[in-house]
Every structure is written in C-alpha cells, then in structure tokens.
Amino acid sequence: MLRLGIVGAAFVAALGLSTAANGIGNRDSANGTIRRLTLAGFPNTVHVNASSGAQGEDAHGMFWQTVERPGIGEVRISGRVSCLAVDGNQSAVGGVVDDSTDPFFAVGSEVQIQIEDNGSPGAGADRTITLSGFSSGEGCPEFFEGVPMATILDGNFVVNDS
C-alpha cells in the first residue's frame, strides 16, 4: 500500500512538471513604476501592472500616468488593462482610460504603453512610450518597432514572457 502511494505521488509530481514545462498556468506580465521625460522633454511618471495568459488571454490590471504639461500643470490618466502582448523583453500593454485630467487623453480613449525591459536596474536601460489612437476591435497591437521611445531615468519595468 505504501508503494502505491509513492508511485501515485511520483506520477502527480511528474504531471505537474510536465504541465509547467508546457506553459500551462504560466502568465505573461509587465509591471513597474518609472520616471522619464516625454519626447517633448516634460516630466512623466508611468505605472503599469498588467498580466495575461501566455497567449494574451484573460488580460487584466491597471495603469496610470502623470505628465507635467506647460501652462496646465500636472495631469493624470488612469485606467484598466484591456490586452497584453509580450515577446521576449518587449511588451505592448493596451488599456482604456477611465479617469483623466489630461486634454490629450479623453475618458474612454484607448492607449498602448510600450515597454522594453533591458534588465535591472531599469534606469538608463529600459525604454517606454505611451501611444494613443487605437479603437476597440483592432485587437491588442503588437510592439511597434522603430517608434521613438524614451529611456527611463528612475524606477524599473519587469517584463515576463512565459
């Protein structure tokens, strides 16, 4: 009887290792808070907490961003993650703005935050950009190669490709 219990436990452990090796139960993610300058040179803080299945399914999380805009002062957007595409050290986080004081990002608008994770610490290495102009039904935009991105000054992004 003891032998049957040991064999059964070994089978369950092997099944668990096989499941992990196949990526079942693993999640893609992009997380962190950083400070950088916008491409126009304005102070910008970005926070992302995004997670999805390995194929982008069941994406969820939140994001927020503050920017110091001349003549307006500090403005802020925040919202929920609607999609996540991860490829190696790059991620495209899609989101819908739920709250905004920024005239460039209306409530209900869709954004994409591109993240390039080049290791820790992120300062001086990781790069990011926030893009707008997406509409529902286009799916989660992939990471756009060649788009100018800003190198972060402080903080760190961590991208996990399961």
**39-59 confidence digits (pLDDT tens):** 899 999 999 999 999 988 999
**pLDDT value at position 6?**
44
Higher model confidence: residue 23 or residue 109? 109
Structural domain range at position 43: 27-160
Asked whether residue 120 is domain-assigned, the answer is yes
Asked whether residue 2 is domain-assigned, the answer is no
Confidence of residue 137 (pLDDT cuts 50, 70, 90): low
Asked whether residue 60 is domain-assigned, the answer is yes
Asked whether residue 19 is domain-assigned, the answer is no
- The answer, yes or no, to whether residue 20 has pLDDT greater than 50, is no
- Residue 40: both structure tokens together: 């126009």
Confidence of residue 16 (pLDDT cuts 50, 70, 90): very low
Domain count, the chain: 1
**pLDDT > 70 in the chain, percent:** 81
| Least confident window among 37-51, 59-73, 90-104, 136-150 | 136-150
Assess contact for 143 and 92: CB atoms under 8 A. yes
What pTM does this model have? 0.80
Asked whether residue 82 is domain-assigned, the answer is yes
Asked whether residue 62 is domain-assigned, the answer is yes
